[in-house]
Amino acid sequence: MALLNKHLENIHFQDKHFIGTVTFKNEELALPDGTKMALGMDDGHWVLIYQRPAEQHMKVYKYDHHDKKIMVDQKAGQEKDLDEFMAHLSYFFENTRTEDLVTLLPPQG
């Protein structure tokens, strides 16, 4: 049962060749604290969908790695939002088992 962060050690996250979404492979799976997340990446633009347990609302973080800017739910974010985004990412990477995930890639063509 490998954790996701072990597979990410050698990945360059600004890689322009990776476009896709990493998410749980079914609705029943969640992180140890009950949160659910999905991460989309496209040339340094990251979108993190975050949902706390027992809440209907999903928070959407959009991070532009090139400009170091973050938006939360379509509103300009602040430094605290960037810190929160990074903390969520770290938790996702450190606590997700690779066998619980699926990678969705855009259609080729």
Q: Does the model's pTM come out above 0.75?
A: yes
Given pLDDT bands bounded at 50, 70 and 90, which one contains residue 1?
Answer: very low
Write down the pLDDT at residue 82: 95
Write down the pLDDT at residue 59: 94
Q: Mind listing the pLDDT tens digit for each residue in 28-85?
A: 999 999 999 999 988 788 999 999 987 778 999 999 988 889 999 999 999 999 999 9
What own/partner pairs with CB < 8 Å and gap ≥ 24 does 14-22 have?
14/43, 14/44, 14/65, 16/43, 16/44, 19/43, 19/105, 19/106, 20/103, 20/104, 20/105, 20/106, 21/103, 21/104, 22/101, 22/102, 22/103, 22/104
